[in-house]
Amino acid sequence: MAKCVINRRAEFSASHRYWLPEIPPEENLAKFGACTNFPPHGHNYVMYVGMVGEIDHTGMVLNLSDVKHTIAREVTTQLNFSYLNQAWEEFQETLPTTENIARVIWQRLEAHLPLVNIRLYEHPELWADYQGNNMQAHLTISTHFSAAHRLALDTLSLEENTSIYGKCARVNGHGHNYHLEVAIVGDIDPRTGMIADLSAFQNAIDKYVLEPMDHTFLNKDIPYFSEVVPTAENIAVYIQKLLTKPIHEIGAKLHSIKLIESPNNSCEVYGEYQLSDIEHSLEEVLAKAS
C-alpha cells in the first residue's frame, strides 16, 4: 500500500517565562530580554502533528478521531491555560522555548503516533519544527520586504527580453511585497532551550536583508543585481549567500530560504551557500548600509 503523511492541527493557550535562577537578574535580562518579565507572557500556540503510514482499506492512514483524542489526552489538555515552566517537569530542566516545546511534545506523543514532524507556531511569524533527531530542531522567522525589479538581460533587445520574461521586462520595472521565510537548524541548548539567540537571529535578517533591500529598485540599488537578473530564484540565492555566515556566527546553520514573490510564484533554496563566496557579498551589504 502507498505511504502517506497526514497532519492533524491542534492548539493551546499558555504562558511562559525565560529565566534561569542560577544566573543573576542582569544576565537573564541580557540573554532573554523582555521574555524575563514577571508576570509571564502568553501565546496562542498552534501545532501540526505530522504522521506517516499506509492507507488502509478504509482509505485512512489513521483514524483521525483517535488521533484527536490522543493529542488532547497527552498534550493539549495538559498544556492549555497553563504556565509552561511548571506544567511539565521537562520544562524545569530546559526552558519552554518554541523549539523545546516541539521537542517535548514529540517525546510525549511518539509512543502513541507514527510521528514524522511536530510543527509549533508561537505566532504566525515564528515557528519550530522537530523531527525526532535528539536535540536538533529547526526554527523559522517569517518576515517581508517591498522592492521593485526588472527582469532583463543586458545582452538582449527589449523584444528578446520580452519573449523570455513577458511584462516583467518592461523598462521601468515593477514591484512586489516579498514574503520571506528564513529557517535555521541547530541543537537545542539543554538549559536555555534555544537553538540560537532569537534576537540575534532576527537582527541578522534585519541587518543583512531587510535594511539593505527594503524599498529598493533591486537592479539599481543592489550591486549584485547589476550583473544578475533579480528573479525570485536569484534573490533567494542572494539572501542565502548573505545569511550563511551571520547564522554561523550565532551558533546555528542556515537550513532554507523561502521567498514568495506573489500568491502565484515562490521558490525555496536549501542549505548554506559556499563559504568561500560569502565575504564579497557581505562587503556589498555593509557598503550599501553605510
- Catalytic positions: 168, 215, 261
Give the separation between CA 23 and CA 222, rounded to whole angstroms.
44
What lies within 8 Å, CB to CB, of 193 at 6+ separation is 94, 95, 96, 97, 99, 100
Contact 104, 90 (CB under 8 A): yes
Give the separation between CA 90 and CA 87, rounded to whole angstroms.
9
Contact 182, 205 (CB under 8 A): yes
Give the separation between CA 113 and CA 171, rounded to whole angstroms.
56
Element (H, E) at 129: strand 126-130
∠ Cα 180 214 194 (to 5°): 45
Q: Closest Cα to residue 103, out of 75, 69, 63, 125?
A: 75
Amino acid in the structure at residue 146: S
- Which sign, positive or negative, has the C-alpha torsion 67, 73, 75, 79? positive
Amino acid in the structure at residue 159: E
Contact 178, 146 (CB under 8 A): yes
∠ Cα 43 137 54 (to 5°): 95
Give the separation between CA 116 and CA 165, rounded to whole angstroms.
40
Contact 172, 217 (CB under 8 A): no
Residue with cell 506573489: 262
